[in-house]
Structure 1
Amino acid sequence: MRDQIVFDCPEDMPIGILMVTKDEAIKCDVSTRYNQSLIGLCTPERKRINFVVRDFSLLPNVPIFKEGEEYYFI
Protein backbone atom coordinates (compact mmCIF):
# COMPACT_ATOMS: atom_id res chain seq x y z
CA MET A 1 0.00 0.00 0.00
CA ARG A 2 1.84 3.06 -1.27
CA ASP A 3 -0.80 4.72 -3.39
CA GLN A 4 -0.60 8.42 -3.93
CA ILE A 5 -3.42 10.96 -3.93
CA VAL A 6 -2.79 14.19 -5.81
CA PHE A 7 -4.87 17.29 -5.07
CA ASP A 8 -4.67 20.03 -7.71
CA CYS A 9 -5.15 23.41 -6.05
CA PRO A 10 -7.16 26.35 -7.37
CA GLU A 11 -4.99 29.25 -8.48
CA ASP A 12 -6.99 32.07 -6.96
CA MET A 13 -7.58 31.07 -3.33
CA PRO A 14 -5.92 29.29 -0.41
CA ILE A 15 -7.83 26.22 0.79
CA GLY A 16 -7.24 23.41 3.23
CA ILE A 17 -7.51 19.72 2.33
CA LEU A 18 -9.15 17.84 5.18
CA MET A 19 -9.58 14.16 5.94
CA VAL A 20 -13.09 13.75 7.35
CA THR A 21 -15.59 11.12 8.40
CA LYS A 22 -18.28 9.89 6.02
CA ASP A 23 -20.92 11.87 7.92
CA GLU A 24 -18.84 15.07 7.76
CA ALA A 25 -18.31 14.56 4.02
CA ILE A 26 -22.03 14.09 3.37
CA LYS A 27 -22.91 17.18 5.42
CA CYS A 28 -19.83 19.18 4.29
CA ASP A 29 -19.29 19.95 7.97
CA VAL A 30 -15.77 20.28 9.32
CA SER A 31 -16.43 23.06 11.79
CA THR A 32 -15.36 21.07 14.85
CA ARG A 33 -12.18 19.36 13.64
CA TYR A 34 -10.33 21.67 11.26
CA ASN A 35 -6.90 21.51 12.92
CA GLN A 36 -7.11 17.78 13.66
CA SER A 37 -8.00 16.74 10.11
CA LEU A 38 -5.86 19.11 7.99
CA ILE A 39 -3.60 17.13 5.66
CA GLY A 40 -2.51 19.88 3.29
CA LEU A 41 -2.85 23.57 2.55
CA CYS A 42 -3.09 25.04 -0.94
CA THR A 43 -1.41 28.43 -1.30
CA PRO A 44 -0.48 30.59 -4.30
CA GLU A 45 3.00 29.05 -4.11
CA ARG A 46 1.77 25.48 -3.69
CA LYS A 47 -0.29 24.38 -6.70
CA ARG A 48 -0.41 20.67 -5.93
CA ILE A 49 -0.53 18.52 -2.81
CA ASN A 50 0.81 14.95 -3.02
CA PHE A 51 -0.35 12.63 -0.29
CA VAL A 52 1.07 9.10 0.08
CA VAL A 53 -1.27 6.45 1.50
CA ARG A 54 0.57 4.21 3.98
CA ASP A 55 -0.32 1.64 6.59
CA PHE A 56 2.31 3.05 8.96
CA SER A 57 3.54 6.51 9.91
CA LEU A 58 7.02 7.87 10.42
CA LEU A 59 5.66 11.08 11.94
CA PRO A 60 3.15 11.85 14.69
CA ASN A 61 -0.34 13.06 13.68
CA VAL A 62 -0.08 11.57 10.18
CA PRO A 63 -3.02 9.35 9.19
CA ILE A 64 -2.53 5.59 9.00
CA PHE A 65 -4.64 3.78 6.41
CA LYS A 66 -6.00 0.23 6.46
CA GLU A 67 -6.65 -1.76 3.31
CA GLY A 68 -10.35 -2.13 2.52
CA GLU A 69 -11.40 0.93 4.55
CA GLU A 70 -13.02 4.04 3.04
CA TYR A 71 -11.61 7.52 3.55
CA TYR A 72 -13.11 10.92 2.75
CA PHE A 73 -11.54 14.27 1.92
CA ILE A 74 -12.93 17.79 1.58
Structure 2
Amino acid sequence: MVYPNPAKEALHINMDDGDYTRLSMSDVNGKQMKTVNLPANVKEFKIDTYNYPPGYYIIYLDGVLGRIVKTFVKVSD
Protein backbone atom coordinates (compact mmCIF):
# COMPACT_ATOMS: atom_id res chain seq x y z
CA MET A 1 0.00 0.00 0.00
CA VAL A 2 1.21 3.50 -0.88
CA TYR A 3 -0.17 6.43 1.13
CA PRO A 4 -1.11 9.22 1.18
CA ASN A 5 -2.00 9.48 -2.48
CA PRO A 6 -1.77 12.22 -3.56
CA ALA A 7 1.31 13.12 -1.50
CA LYS A 8 2.73 16.52 -0.58
CA GLU A 9 5.76 16.12 1.68
CA ALA A 10 6.15 12.38 2.29
CA LEU A 11 5.02 9.03 0.95
CA HIS A 12 4.75 5.86 3.04
CA ILE A 13 5.09 2.43 1.47
CA ASN A 14 3.71 -0.50 3.46
CA MET A 15 5.29 -3.84 2.48
CA ASP A 16 3.58 -6.35 4.80
CA ASP A 17 2.82 -8.71 1.92
CA GLY A 18 6.33 -9.60 0.76
CA ASP A 19 10.07 -9.74 1.23
CA TYR A 20 11.35 -6.84 -0.86
CA THR A 21 15.02 -6.11 -1.41
CA ARG A 22 14.94 -3.00 -3.60
CA LEU A 23 12.74 0.04 -4.08
CA SER A 24 13.05 2.31 -7.07
CA MET A 25 11.07 5.32 -8.19
CA SER A 26 10.76 6.98 -11.58
CA ASP A 27 8.68 9.73 -13.11
CA VAL A 28 6.23 8.94 -15.91
CA ASN A 29 8.91 9.71 -18.50
CA GLY A 30 11.11 6.92 -17.12
CA LYS A 31 13.64 9.19 -15.39
CA GLN A 32 15.06 7.36 -12.37
CA MET A 33 14.42 9.48 -9.28
CA LYS A 34 15.46 7.19 -6.42
CA THR A 35 16.83 3.68 -5.81
CA VAL A 36 17.21 2.11 -2.37
CA ASN A 37 18.44 -1.33 -1.32
CA LEU A 38 16.07 -2.26 1.48
CA PRO A 39 17.20 -3.89 4.72
CA ALA A 40 15.97 -7.43 5.38
CA ASN A 41 12.43 -7.73 6.76
CA VAL A 42 11.58 -4.03 6.37
CA LYS A 43 7.80 -3.56 6.50
CA GLU A 44 7.46 0.19 5.89
CA PHE A 45 9.54 2.77 4.08
CA LYS A 46 9.18 6.55 3.90
CA ILE A 47 10.16 8.71 0.93
CA ASP A 48 10.44 12.46 1.47
CA THR A 49 8.73 13.95 -1.59
CA TYR A 50 8.95 17.68 -0.85
CA ASN A 51 11.93 18.13 -3.23
CA TYR A 52 10.22 16.40 -6.17
CA PRO A 53 8.20 18.42 -8.68
CA PRO A 54 4.44 17.83 -8.89
CA GLY A 55 3.45 14.99 -11.21
CA TYR A 56 2.86 11.26 -11.54
CA TYR A 57 5.46 8.80 -10.21
CA ILE A 58 5.94 5.04 -10.32
CA ILE A 59 7.26 2.92 -7.43
CA TYR A 60 8.86 -0.45 -8.18
CA LEU A 61 9.31 -2.98 -5.37
CA ASP A 62 11.57 -5.89 -6.30
CA GLY A 63 11.71 -8.97 -4.13
CA VAL A 64 11.81 -12.73 -3.85
CA LEU A 65 8.35 -13.16 -5.39
CA GLY A 66 8.89 -10.71 -8.25
CA ARG A 67 8.04 -7.08 -8.87
CA ILE A 68 5.17 -4.95 -7.59
CA VAL A 69 4.38 -1.65 -9.31
CA LYS A 70 2.52 1.19 -7.59
CA THR A 71 1.79 4.74 -8.71
CA PHE A 72 1.27 7.98 -6.83
CA VAL A 73 0.74 11.66 -7.50
CA LYS A 74 2.93 14.39 -6.01
CA VAL A 75 1.02 17.65 -5.53
CA SER A 76 2.39 21.12 -4.78
CA ASP A 77 2.73 22.33 -1.23
Comparing both structures, which one devotes a greater share of its residues to helix?
1
- Higher RCO (Cα < 8 Å, 6 or more apart): 1
TM-score, normalising length: structure 2: 0.46
Greater Rg by CA: 1
Comparing both structures, which one devotes a greater share of its residues to strand?
2
TM-score, normalising length: structure 1: 0.47
